[in-house]
Structure 1
Amino acid sequence: MTNVPDSTEVPAAWQQRFAFFQQYGPVGSTPEAKAAYRALPFGARMRLGFNIWAFLFGPVYFLVKGMWRKGLTVLGVAVTLGVASVLLGVPDNWDRAFAIGFTAAIATVTNWAYYLHVAEGSQSWNPLEGLRRKGPA
């Protein structure tokens, strides 16, 4: 059971995200969630599905928001992938493209992870927690 915080606990922007997540779950998890997401205006879709601060600051953003376990996981994966790219001699342009893709992926899961952290008290190390698509019932 979710415990959605009241208006004094999170800013209005997060309240809108939390209301969507409480009603539909993560973006794209069900046909209803997809339809509701597509019905939103472009700006609302961007705020719901992408976190620019997580894109810019990565694991540090997770730590600042209190999700230190997930932040350490993201940092560990980033360092591991960086070391692997150096050892494998990946060309710089491929390395940059992959790094941007990785940070964009993290930015798309951050809002849902923060919802789980605040509303459900998640203490998981998995930043992808609860994102599995739900099949037909």
Structure 2
Amino acid sequence: MTEQTPSVTLSPAWQRRFDFFSVYGLPNSSPESKAVYRSLPFGTKMRIGSNFPAFFFGPIYFFVKGMWRKGLTLFGIAMALSVVLVVLDVSDNVARAAGIAVASVAMSTANYAYYLHVTRSSQSWNLFEGFGRRR
């Protein structure tokens, strides 16, 4: 881990995630990363691609990890979506589904966002920074 900043010490789980991201990028960013990701055991795939504390705590998780800009973006998305759903007077099931969707965005973006925060000192507001195909 030569890219890691000295002020942050990482647990072995985070080191494994960072190693994968530094070598392959996001799991679906290239054919090579997709092939390697698919060959991993299910538990390892879940640890690399998902972050359950981010699912349950959302913006608070981003704030605690020091990614306050992305946390505010996620909070703003959640509030805007809530306002739209209240104005449209949608059913409780639709509102719950929207809440789960916002939580799923937090869960799926948190690991790579933290990787960018630690290794590249990312100060972006974009939750999806780095997502997309590599060229």
Unaligned 5+ segments in structure 2 are none
State how far apart, in whole Å, the 1-side matches of 2:27 and 2:95 are.
28
Partner of 1:117: 117
* Residues 15-73 of structure 1: CA deviation (Å, up to 9, x unaligned): 00000000000121111111111111110000000000000000000000000010001
Partner of 1:19: 19
Partner of 1:37: 37
Following superposition, which runs of at least 4 residues in structure 1 exceed 3 angstroms of deviation? none
State how far apart, in whole Å, the 1-side matches of 2:88 and 2:71 are.
26
Paired residue type of 1:28: N
Matched position secondary structure for 1:93: helix
State the TM-score, normalizing by the size of structure 1.
Answer: 0.92
Counterpart check, 1:127 vs 2:132: no
Aligned pairs for 1:35-114 (under 5 A) are 35-114=35-114
Identity of aligned residues (%): 52
Q: How far off its partner does 1:134 sit?
A: 2.6
How many residue pairs end up in the alignment?
A: 133
**RMSD over equivalenced CA pairs, Å:** 1.5
Paired residue type of 2:83: V
* Residues 76-121 of structure 1: CA deviation (Å, up to 9, x unaligned): 1100101110001111101101211221122011100000000111
State the TM-score, normalizing by the size of structure 2.
Answer: 0.93
Unaligned 5+ segments in structure 1 are none
